[in-house]
Structure 1
Amino acid sequence: MELRLLGEMQVWSAGRLLDLGTPRQQAVLAALVVDARRPVAIQTLAARVWDDAPPTDPRAVLYSHLSRIRRLLRQAADSDGEEAVPLERRHAGYVLDLDPERVDLHRFRRLVDLGGGQRQDEATRAAALTEALGMWRGTPLAGLPGEWAAQVRDSLRRRRLDAVVRWAQLELHLGRPNEVVTALADLVAEYPLVEPLETLLMRALYTTGRGAEALDRYSAVRRRLADGLGTEPGPELRALHQALLHDDLPPPVPAGAVRTLAPPRPRSTPPPPARAEPPDDATSPATPPATPPVTPSRTPSGTPPRHPRRWRWRSRTAGRRALLATAIVVVLSAAVLLGSSASDDDVDVDPTALDRAQALFADAARYDRDGRTREARAAVVDAARLYGELIEQDPGRHAPPLASAVVEALIRAGVDSSVPGNALREWLANPAFTPYPAIAQVILARGWQLRDPVFLDVIVANYEQAPGVASPRAAADVDPGVLRAAIVEGSNSRHGTRVTEFERLLVP
């Protein structure tokens, strides 16, 4: 039996496609398959299938779907002449005891991890990524309803883009540009605003002797960015364009390495001066210091997490956003100091700060949808810092309207929940009574992006069970080392791994 989720959901047995039933029944099966060999609580199943609008008796409906899924598994086993895959009810939830290698989604993740490692040679890593990308048949979980299915799709799209970029880097470094041209020609049409794909395609075209076509692509992507986002191409794409104009293309960068293209040789006739723009370090004040580090009582690694950037592009508005967010923080901090001698009711809070925080969270979501990962991370870090200032000033007023935006930002960072969304939002709306806002703020403010999702409620439970720490009510009370250890423990328990270094959980 083989299950396919990277496209329309399918179950194959003995060369025959089986009937999976209604979309809701498929959603139940998908919710179990994604966490194969791990328990899924009945509340989690209901939340994944119906979001926050379950039927009157969701347990009864789920039991009916689970019964039909067991019959489907027996039917597949009869066709294959094997034992049926067990679907068992345990104290922690339902477990589909299915070998992950029978699921294309899990094989895809394993091969992408292999292709992104450094232990294998480049040819082996490129072959692993080629196999992983070849499994993609269309939109993952196509046709399945609900917020959870949409989150899985978004996560897989991001991993696919990461894998494509790394694969193309490897192929170029191995001297195989024709394969890159063939593969990326269609993909850049699907993701027209993802600059790294255009950069790699232009390089591949030039290497195969199609320099004029590469230069035409730069003109086209420049128009798309101007029309769609009102921005110019980023520095890496601009530098590549100049290098192609001067026939001075640097050698391809090994996959996973970070390199800035060398400036092109000067032309005999100097170009007209570009519109002057102040440099980022001159226009933006220093970023406010993050939460002071506390000596961890338990940490999986002695070194702080790194934040390398896989996507190397930027927006001309990034510096302005950072300046705006920093100015807001300064104004709010001044308000606290000036009003420290007065009562809480006399503290003057910027009435537009909440709108700005919501706008920053919305910017981060939009950049993430457009594949602009670097800008998305910068926006969410700014939003998290402002969020922390706001809930410190007036938690009752500011935490509730920002709770939904925080949940969405956490999901994009790879932090979901095993509890219903309405319960999680309620906890995030009460910073004075729960540790969820403080821990969520630290995760987002540090820009962490997890490869595989970890439950926020499990992270919080692991943190509070660590010896020598108290349940935090403010970001300053969160011990970063203990938090990293709590995330590592939550990831290992969910995915059956034995990771000890926090950095290995992060998307580079």
Structure 2
Amino acid sequence: MFGEMEVRSAGQSLDVGTPRQQTVLAALIVDARRPVAIETLVNRVWDHTPPADPRAVLYSHLSRIRRLLAQAAALADGTTARIERRHAGYVLNADPDLTDLHRFRRLAEQGSDRQRGDDVRAAALAEALGLWRGSPLAGLPGEWAAQVRDSWHQRRLDAVVRWAQIELRLGHPALVIATLPDLAAEYPLVEPFETLLMRALHATGRGAEALDRYSAVRQRLADKLGTDPGPELRALHQAVLHGELPPAPRDPVTTVRPVTPPAPRPRPTASVSVVAPHWPDLAPPDGNESPTTPSENGPLNGPLAPDHSAALKPVEPGSAEEPQPPKTSSGRVDAVGTDTPATDPLATGTPPIRVRLRLTPRRTMLAALTAVVLPAAIGSVRVFQRDEGNELSSVTPSAPASIPPSVESAQALFATAQKLDQGGRAKEAQAAIVDAVRLYDELIKLDPDRNAPPLAPAVIRALGRAGVDFSVSEAVLRTWLVNPVYTPYPAISQMLLLRGWQLKAPVYLDVIVSNYERAPGITSPRNVADVRVDVLKAATLEGSNTRYGTQVRDFEQLLEP
């Protein structure tokens, strides 16, 4: 899988067929021993432009791949890799370790395991990096292949940085100097490479070369990105100048920045914030009332948020602060991306609707968001006031019947949950998390490419508060979380948060996912409704026992009381 796709058996390289056939085989290899639905295969191979009869073409490719695997088995004296048809899709039944991609994953996980010695970890990472022969799936077309390439480039960067950190800690700077320059030339904008190389040069008495590398990377970043080096690299430069390098922290969280900065997106004229539509209720946590059941008071019933009365100030008509929504050429107000008739109760004689929002001890943040942001979207004027009963009153014309959810709403809910959790209000924080996760699920279904990236950091922080961390860099984890179509990470992360589990000792998310996907008869989930809670518990329990060398058998023993 690294470099051009190749199938070898008994020392012979076999013909893997056309690029489309190679993509079919790759789509099965990535999920080895797990069923891949026919629809998923079609999407991975042809993106959005399948042939007239994609299933017939797919069956033809699968037939040729079966013959290829039979040829490989004959050369290897019966060692088989075969394709099986199951009710959930097609399965490539083969030992994942026969594939360089999966072997890399296993070795990288060993190199990230802090329970192992540094010598063992460095050797595992060096073996993993030695498997790299070039860009994964080189020459294969399509969005899915591009996503795989991007994901595994990120994993490679993370493995290189972790390997170099361990080798420096072991006192092997010469090995780092011999390896990193070529990689730094291949990835010229990855600052952690330069940081580690400068440390290695300084450790071998080559401080002047370290300073030269800093000058070169500073100029390169300015020319290519228009930015300065990051704070870590700048601090290291000053330390080299003074000849006093602080010791590198043990296993720091490494963030490998993208090669190019993301293009700025234009901000919408009107930001719309509402509660997401109804989702099917999930099974309640063991022994507890389900936190996902809507209350009789509706979606504005939620955890108590900080007082936002200062933000709800009166807005005078005609003032500079009065919202001015954009108008289309037809004179209609475009509030949510579609043309809707402008509504003015004073001009049309329509009586205003009097809305009273009770500030109950739950979901006050949602009430504030809906009250403040929604008027800007529908172009109306609102006057807010509080009475002695701590009720919030507003006057508004009728709002559109359907307004899409917004990223800002989800971010605000995640932030509210964090504040409540920090304030020791665990039950209210969990109620806010449920709302945030449901809105997040709706947003990534609507537009994953636009909505998933800005919400990934909030999901990672929420997982951290639940006792779920990760052995890869945050940059790599974000890459997985922003690809709900191609990875199970968004679905499994949602279920972990919805269940409200609080782990006593952290468990790696990437290990949980790996354990889950290895369970017999399990299909890699792409929707939270497809995640089986019993399998998720077993995967988490196995991840905890592996990490801490324990033999816990009851999942409940992992949880805070």
Task: State the TM-score, normalizing by the size of structure 2.
Answer: 0.55
Residue equivalent to 2:230: 234
Relative to structure 1, is the Cα distance of residues 225 and 145 closer, same or farther in structure 2, using a 3 angstrom cutoff? same
Aligned residues of 1:488 and 1:499 also touching (Cα < 8 A): no
Describe the superposition over 1:451-484 as per-residue Cα deviations: whole angstroms up to 9, x where unpaired.
7688664423338xx7xxxxxxxxxxxxxxxxxx
Any gaps of 5 or more consecutive residues in structure 2?
A: 255-283, 288-366, 376-381, 385-392, 412-432, 457-477, 500-507, 518-523, 549-561
Q: Distance in 2 between matches of 1:53 and 1:71?
A: 27
Residue equivalent to 1:461: 530
Deviation for aligned residue 1:84: 3.4
Q: Distance in 2 between matches of 1:196 and 1:144?
A: 30
Matches within 5 A, 1:51-450: 51-256=47-252, 297=285, 334-336=372-374, 338=382, 341-343=394-396, 345=398, 402-406=447-451, 412-414=479-481, 416-417=483-484, 450=510
Tell me the SS of whatever aligns to 1:232.
coil
Aligned residues of 1:488 and 1:501 also touching (Cα < 8 A): no
Q: Distance in 1 between matches of 2:114 and 2:546?
A: 17
Deviation for aligned residue 1:81: 1.6
Aligned residues of 1:169 and 1:253 also touching (Cα < 8 A): no
Q: Distance in 2 between matches of 1:44 and 1:80?
A: 31
The answer on 1:20 being equivalent to 2:87 is no
Query: What is the aligned-residue RMSD (CA, Å)?
Result: 4.6
Q: Distance in 2 between matches of 1:7 and 1:100?
A: 18
Q: Report the identity percentage.
A: 52
Tell me the SS of whatever aligns to 2:7.
strand
Q: Distance in 2 between matches of 1:345 and 1:441?
A: 35
Tell me the SS of whatever aligns to 1:12.
strand
Residue equivalent to 1:40: 36
Q: Distance in 2 between matches of 1:403 and 1:114?
A: 31
Aligned residues of 2:111 and 2:120 also touching (Cα < 8 A): yes
Aligned residue pair count:
364
Deviation for aligned residue 1:86: 2.3
Relative to structure 1, is the Cα distance of residues 405 and 147 closer, same or farther in structure 2, using a 3 angstrom cutoff? same
Aligned residues of 1:415 and 1:456 also touching (Cα < 8 A): no
Tell me the SS of whatever aligns to 1:499.
helix
Describe the superposition over 1:147-166 as per-residue Cα deviations: whole angstroms up to 9, x where unpaired.
11111111111111111111
Tell me the SS of whatever aligns to 1:254.
coil
Q: Distance in 2 between matches of 1:399 and 1:39?
A: 24
Deviation for aligned residue 1:122: 0.5
Task: State the TM-score, normalizing by the size of structure 1.
Answer: 0.60
Tell me the SS of whatever aligns to 2:394.
coil
Aligned residues of 1:32 and 1:96 also touching (Cα < 8 A): yes
Deviation for aligned residue 1:142: 0.6
Aligned residues of 1:46 and 1:58 also touching (Cα < 8 A): yes
Q: Distance in 1 between matches of 2:536 and 2:436?
A: 21
Tell me the SS of whatever aligns to 1:76.
helix
Relative to structure 1, is the Cα distance of residues 191 and 332 closer, same or farther in structure 2, using a 3 angstrom cutoff? farther
Residue equivalent to 1:276: none
Larger radius of gyration: 2
Aligned residues of 2:448 and 2:482 also touching (Cα < 8 A): no
Residue equivalent to 1:469: none
In terms of fraction of residues, the more helix-rich structure is 1
Deviation for aligned residue 1:334: 2.8
Describe the superposition over 1:23-69 as per-residue Cα deviations: whole angstroms up to 9, x where unpaired.
00000111111111111111111111111221111111111111101
- The amino acid that maps onto 1:15 is G
